[in-house]
Amino acid sequence: MGKIEDAIQQKEFKDPYNKAVVNLLFTHSYLVTSQNSLFKPHDLSPEQYNVLRILRGQNGVPTTVSSIQERMLNKMSNASRLVEKLKMKDLVKREECPTDRRQVDIVITEKGLDLLEVLEKQVESANREMVNLTLEEANHLNELLDKLRG
């Protein structure tokens, strides 16, 4: 991939902060594009994959769409629409909550768990390849990103 200056054909930036923001935005796009190509053969988007991982983390305990939305990586995603698409693929189930009929409980299906199992090694391998850092560098990057978000 190389330097951001080469990637976007810009010789210099106003200041290092501007460069950092542009670099983060460009890198985000690079990562999303890479993930899209990984999930596309399984008819999944990165956001749908995120929903499935959230549901798997529930260990079979039903959760609500609003709870899924709170935990999503992309807060702008429409969790209701994502859940509906996953339901149409039989990867999740929507059930009326027995204690509150206005609430809908969501759980991952066996088919959804099986798909995550298939994708797990591919995602781990792709993550290491995309990030292209040593373990120490990845830990340092994580610390810096956490610091950036305050």
Does 112 share its domain with 77? yes
Helix (H) or strand (E) holding 12: none
Distance from C-alpha of 92 to C-alpha of 22, rounded to nearest angstrom: 37
- What range defines the domain where residue 17 resides? 1-42
Does 7 share its domain with 67? no
Enter the tokens of residue 139. Answer: 């830990």
Domain CATH for 76: 1.10.10.10
pLDDT reported for residue 111: 97
Distance from C-alpha of 90 to C-alpha of 85, rounded to nearest angstrom: 9
pTM equals 0.86
pLDDT in tens, 122-142: 999 999 999 999 999 999 999
Domain count, the chain: 2
User: How far lies 41's CA from each of 47, 116, 136, in Å?
Assistant: 15, 13, 33
Distance from C-alpha of 101 to C-alpha of 88, rounded to nearest angstrom: 22
Does 85 share its domain with 111? yes
Does 83 share its domain with 102? yes
Q: 139 in a domain, yes or no?
A: no
Does 38 share its domain with 6? yes
Residue type, 36: N
Q: 142 in a domain, yes or no?
A: no
Closest to 111 measured CA to CA, from 36, 35, 42, 39 = 42
Q: Given the structure tokens 């200056």, which residue do they identify?
A: 5
pLDDT in tens, 1-28: 688 888 888 888 999 999 999 999 999 9
Does 82 share its domain with 19? no
Q: 113 in a domain, yes or no?
A: yes
Mean pLDDT value across the chain: 91
Q: 111 in a domain, yes or no?
A: yes
pLDDT in tens, 79-101: 999 999 999 999 999 987 677 77
